[in-house]
Structure 1
Amino acid sequence: MVDGVTLTMGVAGSKLEKALGDHFPEGERYFGLENFGNTCYCNSVLQALYFCVPFREQLLEYYSNNKSQGEAEENLLTCLAELFSQINSQKKKTGVIAPKRFVQRLRKENDVFRGYMHQDAHEFLNFLLNQLVDILEKECPKATTENVLNGPGNGHVNGVKQEPAATWIHKNFQGILTNETRCLRCETVTARDETFLDLSLDIEQNSSITSCLKNFSSTETLNAEDKFFCDKCCSLQEAQKRMKIKKSPRILVIHLKRFKYMEQLNRHKKLSYRVVFPLELKLSTTLDAGDSAYSLFSVVVHVGTGPNHGHYVSLVKSHNHWLFFDDENAEMIDESAIQTFFGSAQEYSSNTDHGYILFYESLSGDNKSL
């Protein structure tokens, strides 16, 4: 054990190394993560983030800079940076690492993750990114005065009001939404910008990410009890409202709302709907010239029939190879296997492995690292 990180090889690791053979990329490492009692929600997201190359590179740079400055106070960011550094610096190409220090720190930071109950991977990702933002902003106060996105500074990060920021978390994951409301009496359009680190999309049976995004941006009429107060008319008026993506992020994270509260059941139910997610995605925005092109590089998959139990695994693309990570186990899979995680065309199906969080990287500029 090295600093709370157990290093083992295992049969799965040697099998993966044999499968990769001559195709093993120089300097790349593929390590499974040990489970500490229902921590698959954490492991699956960590694998997705590790294979998000821009994020990993900046985290390793942060680790290197911090190390040269001496001992930093332990927090979630330092624990994550240390974990990624230990994976990246392994002499062996494959194996298993125990992210013990990171999990201990996570449980210390948030009561929700303290026990050994099944947790939600999206909730964990949301918490982690916002915590990293908070830590970086405290370390670099100047970052909060810059506005890297050239947009208004009164936005929200997943519902939490934020000042303009330029941390490397924002540079990778943050985009801008525009909330437009048009008064149907005077035609005045009120627009409010807000930032996002991921997009949560409602889903329907036998649909696609493209149709989910269209529904997300569809026009809604506000009338009856939902009338809009128009500042120009100085009264409540019928209006049309829609949400548009104004500026797309470098890394587009899409969360599919697979868990829905059913009033008649008085509980949340998992929607096993078939939602096709393409390997290449075109995203229309109001600021970018034309469509933004994205490439899928990771999928966090929920396995099981309900929200309060089940399992999480992840699929990642690395140097044109797709890999399947299930806690300690890692294996190569064929690209065609991705479609088995789209969901079920029928309500009752033996297939319970469904895509839950999708990670896309922009193909514009120099972002073609995956």
Structure 2
Amino acid sequence: MGAAGSKLEKALGDQFPEGERYFGLENFGNTCYCNSVLQALYFCVPFREQLLDYYANNKNIGDAEENLLTCLADLFTQISSQKKKTGVIAPKRFVQRLKKQNELFRSYMHQDAHEFLNFLLNELVDILEKEAQAAKSDPETSSPTEKTANGPKNGQLNGVRKEPLVTWVHKNFQGILTNETKCLRCETVTARDETFFDLSLDIEQNSSITSCLKNFSSTETLNAEDKFFCDKCCSLQEAQKRMKIKKPPHILVIHLKRFKYIEQLGRYKKLSYRVVFPLELKLSNTVEDADIEYSLFAVVVHVGSGPNHGHYVSLVKSHNHWLFFDDENVEMIDESAVQTFFGSAQEYSSNTDHGYILFYESLGASNKS
């Protein structure tokens, strides 16, 4: 990336952020799904800083077992500690570990970036929880750990109920949804909470993220064959159901359902619908706060006309500059270029580059990017 790297340095000039690194990632035969998500996560500053801290605190453990967390921490540390400001890094160790860990990613076929993101975040949580349990059972290494009732798992330990652990992955990405069902006969409301790392939204032509979120939280009537069993009435009753965001996450990840199974075709089809995603997003209709403001800092883009082939790239905002990451290549783009990834207002369009996963950071906390 020599020429491209120097071009990027020239474009940023005196504005090149102090201590920041912009490195492309080598593609090992269809690993663009992985590279695009890793770039988005690297520029999720609070997540990156905690991963670098993790590496700094654990690098002296010589016999530590290699896993996806250690490989990711090692990769992010390699990037952040480069002497050069731009260049290319080969995430070989991470990709090898990923393939070893999950056979889904072993083939050279086109993979889904959203599936990879989901798998990675859940895997990191599992590793951190196991490490915390191991530390608790070893008094030599034991340290106080933070706990809360909002984690994803409950369990028993020596007959004592233990509260789920909240890791720094949870603190960044986890939100809570509440599923409310109201019996239309006795008007009793039943609420059930569930945690999420990302929101998967159905999309429609010529819509926006705001309207997709409204549809996500819209009230649905359960009747006929879908009646709800009300515990108070002890029978099936008509009911109204809706999903609300009870606790919004610090990092809001939105996955647009661009791949839809079409029964007549017997396969998945990509929806190239135009869905506007704003640079600043107000999240309303939440249980805790009336309005929460978010700022867009990364977009994973799917390029191509179908789900089984194509390419992934990412757009990233860093220190008020927008950058375009396409595997080894990194270049600066204008903020207005983000709009070209909204999708197409026509069914058939030559532009197949569409926003697929959006990363928003809450403006309520420090946003260094």
CA distance in 1, matches of 2:42, 2:221: 42
Superposed counterparts of 1:1-370, under 5 Å: 9-141=1-133, 147-148=147-148, 151=150, 164-365=164-365, 367-370=366-369
Tell me how far 1:210 sits from its aligned partner: 0.1
TM-score normalised to the size of structure 1?
0.92
CA distance in 2, matches of 1:163, 1:321: 42
CA distance in 2, matches of 1:222, 1:250: 33
Amino acid at match of 1:49: L
* 8 Å contact kept, 1:153–1:163: no
* 8 Å contact kept, 1:201–1:212: yes
Runs of 4 or more above 4 Å deviation:
142-147, 150-155
* 8 Å contact kept, 1:154–1:194: no
CA distance in 2, matches of 1:312, 1:260: 18
CA distance in 1, matches of 2:211, 2:111: 28
* 8 Å contact kept, 1:32–1:327: yes
* 8 Å contact kept, 1:285–1:292: no
Deviations 1:108-157 (A, max 9, x none): 00011001110000000000000000000000126998544x548679xx
The DSSP-based 3-state class of the residue aligned with 1:68 is coil
- Cα RMSD of the aligned pairs, angstroms, is 1.8
CA distance in 2, matches of 1:254, 1:286: 16
* 8 Å contact kept, 1:144–1:164: no
CA distance in 1, matches of 2:145, 2:56: 25
Deviations 1:23-69 (A, max 9, x none): 10110000000000000000000000000000000000000001134
TM-score normalised to the size of structure 2?
0.93
* 8 Å contact kept, 1:47–1:325: yes
Larger deviation, residues 13-22 vs 250-259: 13-22
Deviations 1:173-196 (A, max 9, x none): 000000000001100000000000
The DSSP-based 3-state class of the residue aligned with 1:140 is helix
Amino acid at match of 2:220: E
* 8 Å contact kept, 1:199–1:253: yes
* 8 Å contact kept, 1:152–1:193: no
Amino acid at match of 1:281: L
Change (3 A) 1:67 1:288: same
Change (3 A) 1:144 1:340: farther
* 8 Å contact kept, 1:221–1:241: yes
